[in-house]
Amino acid sequence: MNAGIKVFAPATVANVACGFDILGFALEKPGDEIIAKFSNTPGITITKITGAKGKLPYEIEKNTAGFAAQSVLNHLGDKSTGISLEIHKKMPFGSGLGSSAASAVAGAMAVNELLKRPLTKRELLPFAVLGEQIADGAYHADNVAPSLLGGIIFIRNNKELDVHRLPLPKGLYATVVYPHVKILTKDAREVLSPNTTLQKCIEQNGNLGGLIVGLYNSDLDLISRSLQDVIIEPQRAQLIPHFQEIKESCLKAGALGCSISGAGPSIFALSPNSLKAEQVAVEMERIFTDNKIKNQVFISQINQEGAIKL
């Protein structure tokens, strides 16, 4: 009767070069798993956390997954129901791969699935965003929305959660490297100037528009020309050792584009097929390893499913 259910929410790449705060896509792996069971204690209880090296709190109000789960339960008006969560972190923290977003999405999904899906995935979005806000401080859907819904997601407006899934050309592959160096999202935000020039804003606008048109028209050349970040990357690249060398090597190896994943330190590249994505992976790994920086490389199609019940 109380076998529980298990959900998976994937890692994500936010910003995607030209879409700071408003673009993100989902990877097939890594991601977080949560097991939810009914319990006799009303509300959400976290009974187990693995893979977090003691860094995640068990208090619901401080835990992204717990808070998202509790928000869903509150919304459903179910005060007597008790649900216990086991959180299995299976992806790195502070990597720029949307770790806290994946947890928040898994928390919201787990409650909804255990209660036999009273809400659609789309309806879960605000609760998952609330959960992630605990970690990030910002009400942003650029990691949460792709982790939940899958695909490549464009967000016209974060406050309004005006979220749109974009079409994907066949065969597009992502390669992501996570070098084991530390950048906190907070620090990555602090390095950014609150101002920019009108000229750069127009260029960034042009690249964002170009990427969207390229995705709708399956125009890989246009996608490649558009995967440029003239505002954020030049400010943050200094935080990531060997960024320029890796970017150049990835482009030479056939990537359509290469930039910082989220707030870094992970670096992503998009490639037109799996072969190129693998060549790009070789370059990423080689450069960090040559420089004695531990790293993990992930090769993945864009994940079209988003979070799932396993």
Over the window 116 to 145, marking each residue x when it contacts a second copy by CB under 8 A and - when it does not, the resulting string is ------------------------------
Told to check if 227 binds a second copy by CB under 8 A, we report no
Told to check if 237 binds a second copy by CB under 8 A, we report no
Q: Which of 184, 209, 252, 304 lies at the binding interface for a second copy (CB under 8 A)?
A: 209
Report yes or no: 102 and 147 within 8 Å, Cβ to Cβ.
yes
- 228 HSE (CA, 13 A, CB side): 16
Told to check if 212 binds a second copy by CB under 8 A, we report yes
Span near a second copy by CB under 8 A; candidates 56-64, 193-201, 247-255, 295-303: 193-201
- DSSP structural state of residue 302: P
Told to check if 216 binds a second copy by CB under 8 A, we report yes
Told to check if 198 binds a second copy by CB under 8 A, we report yes
Q: Which of 5, 83, 91, 231 lies at the binding interface for a second copy (CB under 8 A)?
A: 231
Told to check if 190 binds a second copy by CB under 8 A, we report no
Told to check if 156 binds a second copy by CB under 8 A, we report yes
CA dist., res. 76 & res. 73, Å (int): 5
Told to check if 40 binds a second copy by CB under 8 A, we report no
Told to check if 206 binds a second copy by CB under 8 A, we report yes
Cβ at position 189, least distance to a second copy in Å: 10
CA dist., res. 100 & res. 157, Å (int): 21
**Smaller CB separation from a second copy, 149 or 280:** 149
- 203 HSE (CA, 13 A, CB side): 13
Residue with tokens 């339960």: 73
Cβ at position 67, least distance to a second copy in Å: 25
Told to check if 203 binds a second copy by CB under 8 A, we report yes
Number of residues that bind a second copy (CB under 8 A): 39
- Inter-CA distances, 50 with 2, 24, 154, Å: 21, 27, 32
Told to check if 20 binds a second copy by CB under 8 A, we report yes
Told to check if 42 binds a second copy by CB under 8 A, we report no
Report yes or no: 214 and 254 within 8 Å, Cβ to Cβ.
no
Q: What is the chain's length? A: 310
- Inter-CA distances, 128 with 68, 140, 161, 249, 307, Å: 5, 10, 12, 36, 11
CA dist., res. 9 & res. 26, Å (int): 9
CA dist., res. 24 & res. 97, Å (int): 10
**Smaller CB separation from a second copy, 95 or 226:** 226
Told to check if 210 binds a second copy by CB under 8 A, we report yes
Told to check if 157 binds a second copy by CB under 8 A, we report yes
CA dist., res. 99 & res. 93, Å (int): 6
- DSSP structural state of residue 142: T
Rg of the Cα atoms in the chain: 19
Report yes or no: 132 and 64 within 8 Å, Cβ to Cβ.
yes
Told to check if 191 binds a second copy by CB under 8 A, we report no
Told to check if 164 binds a second copy by CB under 8 A, we report yes
Q: Which of 162, 248, 290, 305 lies at the binding interface for a second copy (CB under 8 A)?
A: 162
Residues lying near a second copy in the complex (CB under 8 A) are found at 19-22, 154-157, 160, 162, 164, 166, 192-210, 212-213, 216-217, 222, 225-226, 231
